[in-house]
Structure 1
Amino acid sequence: MNVTHRWLSIFEGCVLVALGIHILNSAGLLISGTAGIGMILRQLTDLSFGQLFFLLNTPFYILAWRTLGRTFTINTFISISLLSALSELMRHFVSIDMNPILSGTLGGLLVGFGLIILFRHNASLGGLNILSVYLERRYGIHASKTTLLADLLVFAVAIVALKAESIGYSLLAFAFLSSVVGRYHRPPKWAKAQEIKPA
């Protein structure tokens, strides 16, 4: 694959995810996985989402390096750094005031399609994305199943931390994200039940 094409695709995927998360953050809504945890902590700490997202993913680089290889880890590190930077830029320069139903729908779709682009170009956004890619390559478990589990875990934490109204609208984002990944993500043939050896 052409290097320029790959990195343009990774950049485009990060832009879609960053915009989707910014829309959700602006409406006080959540998304799944490590991003969802960062969005919850953003409301409980003085740190921004970009800062929290970068910090939360740090431990997962070890798993990625040892099980998924150097190229995947480097691509993922760059993707996470890029998403964190884009999130900071949007926080300062992009103002969005949108109906929460539309926010949940559009935010979930944008994050879902952005993740698909990253998965197809040997990258992820860390955290549970790394776990989903590992399980897919090692055991052939579709990424949508891991994403659904992540949705449930974040939802359980959100019940304690957020208002019922925000949780309800966030379920729209959860549903659209899982739907998009489940229908459009196609793991490559070599990713199915591939034996992964420690580095």
Structure 2
Amino acid sequence: MKTTHRWLSIVEGCLLVALGLHILNSSGLLISGTAGAGMILLRVTDLSFGQLFFLLNIPFYILAWYTLGRDFTLRTFASVSLLSLLSELMKQYVVLSIHPLLSGALGGLLVGFGLIILFRHNASLGGLNILSVFLERRFGLHASKTTLVADILVLMAAVVFLDWSHLGYSLLAFLLLSSVVGRYHRPPEWAQIVMVDAKV
């Protein structure tokens, strides 16, 4: 029962993230982390977002396997694969026409809540999500802080590809995602102990 609940939650989290990313992609906006890097690379390659997202995550599995454990890595691999598949399906069958302002707001919120679900069930969407979980477990650094740094780096790279209005709407998505993770993500007890020890 516990295993079934965990995997259903992972599927739900991936659905929320996939829909959020599709909404952002439909308006030409970006999001942070590996997904944001994939959205940028869409503009310079012939690969789809799903293909790019899957390929970009491959190196991070090594970090996850040796530092976060086999179970976390396998759940993350399954989540990344599922998200890549859902992204391909939504690209083919879900047609959207949304104002960029609403797209940025909805996309950021959906991706943020999807990540919360995955974090709570010991999974992630690879890339910088793996790094954020590792830093949280090793140093007690809250995942929202790592997410914010990733947001800034992706936004800096996006200056080359986006006009100022789309940069502003993407920034809205970044801020809402970071806000959701910051307010709703609760590190496990062992991570909270690490943070207390670090402050002492």
Question: How high is the TM-score relative to the length of structure 1?
Answer: 0.95
Deviation string for 1:25-60 (max 9, x for gaps)? 000000000000000111221111000000000000
User: How far apart, in 1, do the equivalents of 2:56 and 2:164 lie?
Assistant: 25
Q: Tell me the SS of whatever aligns to 1:160.
A: coil
Letter in structure 1 aligned against 2:79? S
Q: Map 1:31-50 to 2 at 5 A.
A: 31-50=31-50
Letter in structure 2 aligned against 1:10? I
Deviation string for 1:142-189 (max 9, x for gaps)? 000000000000011001222222111101100100000000000110
Q: Map 1:8-87 to 2 at 5 A.
A: 8-87=8-87
Where in structure 2 are there 5+ consecutive unaligned residues?
A: 196-200
Letter in structure 1 aligned against 2:115? L
Q: CA deviation at 1:191?
A: 3.0
Q: Tell me the SS of whatever aligns to 1:31.
A: coil
Question: How high is the TM-score relative to the length of structure 2?
Answer: 0.95
User: How far apart, in 2, do the equivalents of 1:68 and 1:118 lie?
Assistant: 15
Bigger mean CA offset, 100-109 vs 157-166 = 157-166
User: How far apart, in 1, do the equivalents of 2:16 and 2:44 lie?
Assistant: 25
Q: Tell me the SS of whatever aligns to 1:15.
A: helix
Q: Tell me the SS of whatever aligns to 1:43.
A: coil
Residue in structure 2 matched with residue 197 of structure 1 by the alignment: none
User: How far apart, in 2, do the equivalents of 1:35 and 1:121 lie?
Assistant: 20
Residue in structure 1 matched with residue 198 of structure 2 by the alignment: none
Residue in structure 2 matched with residue 137 of structure 1 by the alignment: 137
User: How far apart, in 2, do the equivalents of 1:109 and 1:71 lie?
Assistant: 27
For this pair of structures, how many residues does the alignment match? 194
Q: CA deviation at 1:190?
A: 2.0
- Superposed CA RMSD: 1.1
Letter in structure 2 aligned against 1:11? V
User: How far apart, in 2, do the equivalents of 1:24 and 1:159 lie?
Assistant: 17
Q: Tell me the SS of whatever aligns to 2:136.
A: helix
Where in structure 1 are there 5+ consecutive unaligned residues?
A: 195-199
